[in-house]
Amino acid sequence: MSKQYDYGDKIKVLTDSKEIVGTSLPRPEILDENILVLKLENGYNIGIDKKKIKKVEVLEKYKAKTIKNKTISHKKGLPTVSIISAGGTISSKIDYKTGGTVADYTAEDFMDMIPEIQDIANVKAVKCLNVMSEDMNESDWKTIAKSIEKELETAEGIVLSQGTDTLHYTSAILSFYFKDVKKPIILTAAQRSIDRGSSDAFMNLACATNAAANFEGAGVFVCMHANSSDDFCQLIRGTKVRKMHTSRRDAFRPINSSPVAEIYTDKINILDKDFTKKDLKNKTKTSISFEEKVGLLYIQPLIDPKIVDFYVKEGYKGLVISATALGHVPSEGKNNLITALEKAKKKGLTIVVASQTLYGSTNEFVYANLRKLSVALNLIFAKDMSPETSLVKLGWILGQTNDENEIKEMFETNYAYEYNDKISEDEFLN
Helices (H), 59-166: 107-113, 138-151
| Contact in structure between 397 and 410 (CB atoms under 8 Å) | yes
Cross-strand partners of 262? 234, 269
Q: Is the dihedral of CA 354, 359, 363, 366 positive or negative?
A: negative
**Residues assigned a catalytic role:** 89, 164-165, 243
* 151 in Cβ contact with 143 (< 8 Å): no
User: Is the distance from CB of 388 to CB of 320 less than 8 angstroms?
Assistant: no
Beta bridge partners of 354: 322
Quick count: other Cβ atoms within 10 Å of Cβ 180? 16
Strand 157-161 relative to strand 92-94: parallel, antiparallel, unpaired? unpaired
DSSP string spanning 22-44?
EEEEPPPTTS-TTEEEEE-TTS-
The DSSP secondary-structure symbol of 200 reads S
DSSP β-bridge partners for residue 320: 296, 352
Q: Which of 353, 334, 338, 340 is nearest to 311 (CA)?
A: 340
CB-neighbour burial class of residue 149 (10 A; exposed 0-12, middle 13-18, buried 19+) = middle
DSSP per residue, 398-414 = HTT---HHHHHHHHTS-
Contacts with 264 (C-beta within 8 Å, 6 or more apart), sequence order: 207, 210, 232, 233
